[in-house]
């Protein structure tokens, strides 16, 4: 290897070892880490390199203690430092969880970061965080569907139009009618929910916001015309409005139900709401549940998932629907199964 190339690689490795302030790293530690990476270097040469790189790369030196300690400034023009252990651990543990949430084209773009995290943790051997990563996993709650297949071009164009505030011309496949429709969209936001990503946008001259599943976009084109700014749009407020929860009413209701002892234990540890109350029932192990909850389909589906471990007393609209659903299922399963 030529001396110039060896010097370049050493400087690059040196910069990657330096953290961003307020974290700092001592010159003696830099010397040890560079030698571990196979570089033949002295403490004096590291000090000389740091002084030479400090201005173009916005490095700062803390000379209040010996050995001196170095860091990047917060507004440094380049961030070349190596991945730190907490960041690597967070990426490592989130990868499997995100695999079930994000479209493949987005995961492909995140792939290099995931690989960096794995390589970092596998390379630090005795580090406690690396050992933790081999022992800890995050499991989603409930059944998780595979993400809908999404064209990389669709994701790229939707992201571009949203960032540049440009209109989109799309051919969109309706879920209910399986028909292809043409829309001129003004993007407002983007939401990934469960296994599907949605573009939030208005259509043409209309002002009402609609949701477009990205995997149903058959053709897409970013237009030159500017999109409506949607300056009043706030994605958190939009989600809080209940549009993704199939809300039956804007107001909250009081859920009153009797629950099995195991469900009661679960709810004590992970309550349905901040005002939840669990009380004893006379001569029973079951508990009486009171909790303020939104009147939405997701809460009702959670209730259905508990099967005969819960009996709902209120709200009446859910009691009526549960009774109707049970009658329908009973009649359905009484019918002979088709061959």
CB 209 within 8 Å of CB 201: yes
> What is the spatial distance between Cα 245 and Cα 266, in angstroms, rounded to a whole number?
23
Tens of pLDDT along 52-81? Answer: 888 888 889 998 888 899 988 877 766 655
What's 3-72's CATH class? mainly alpha
Residue 303 burial (CB count, 10 A): 19
Rg (CA), the chain: 28
In the chain, which residues fall in CATH 1.10.10?
Answer: 3-72
Tens of pLDDT along 1-22? Answer: 456 666 777 888 888 888 888 7
CATH number of 152-240: 2.30.30
Residue 146 has pLDDT above 90, yes or no: no
Q: What is the pLDDT of residue 1?
A: 44
User: What is the pLDDT averaged over residues 73-92?
Assistant: 70
**Pick the residue with more confidence: 14 or 291?**
291
pTM: 0.61
In the chain, which residues fall in CATH 2.30.30?
Answer: 152-240
**Pick the residue with more confidence: 145 or 331?**
331
User: What is the pLDDT averaged over residues 84-113?
Assistant: 73
SS3 content of the chain, % helix, strand, coil (to 5): 40, 25, 35
Residue 318 has pLDDT above 80, yes or no: yes
Q: What is the pLDDT of residue 313?
A: 97
């Amino acid at each position: 290897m030529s001396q110039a190339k060896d010097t370049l690689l050493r400087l690059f490795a040196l910069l990657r070892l330096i953290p961003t302030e307020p974290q700092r790293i001592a010159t003696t530690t830099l010397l040890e880490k560079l030698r571990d990476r196979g570089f033949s270097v002295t403490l004096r040469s590291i000090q000389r390199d740091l002084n030479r790189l400090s201005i173009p790369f916005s490095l700062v030196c803390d000379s209040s203690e010996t050995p001196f300690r170095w860091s990047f400034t917060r507004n440094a023009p380049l961030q070349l430092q190596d991945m730190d252990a907490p960041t690597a651990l967070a990426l490592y543990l989130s990868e499997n969880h995100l695999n079930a949430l994000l479209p493949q084209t987005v995961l492909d773009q995140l792939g290099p970061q995931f690989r960096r995290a794995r390589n970092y943790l596998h390379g630090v051997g005795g580090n406690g965080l690396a050992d933790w990563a081999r022992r800890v996993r995050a499991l989603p709650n409930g059944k998780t569907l595979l993400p809908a297949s999404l064209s990389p071009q669709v994701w790229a164009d939707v992201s571009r139009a949203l960032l540049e505030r440009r209109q989109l011309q799309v051919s969109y496949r309706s879920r209910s009618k399986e028909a292809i429709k043409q829309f001129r969209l003004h993007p407002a936001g983007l939401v990934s929910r469960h296994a599907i990503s949605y573009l939030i946008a208005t259509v043409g001259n209309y002002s009402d916001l609609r949701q477009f599943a990205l995997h149903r976009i058959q053709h897409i084109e970013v237009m030159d015309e500017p999109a409506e700014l949607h300056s009043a749009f706030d994605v958190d407020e939009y989600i809080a409005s209940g549009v993704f929860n199939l809300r039956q009413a804007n107001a909250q209701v009081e859920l009153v139900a009797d629950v099995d002892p195991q469900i009661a234990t679960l709810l004590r540890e992970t309550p349905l709401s901040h005002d939840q109350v669990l009380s004893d029932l006379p001569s029973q192990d079951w508990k009486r549940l009171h909790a303020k909850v939104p009147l939405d389909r997701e809460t009702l589906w959670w209730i259905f998932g508990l099967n005969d471990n819960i009996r709902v007393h209120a709200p009446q609209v859910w009691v009526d629907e549960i009774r109707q659903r049970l009658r329908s299922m009973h009649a359905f399963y009484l019918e002979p199964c088709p061959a």
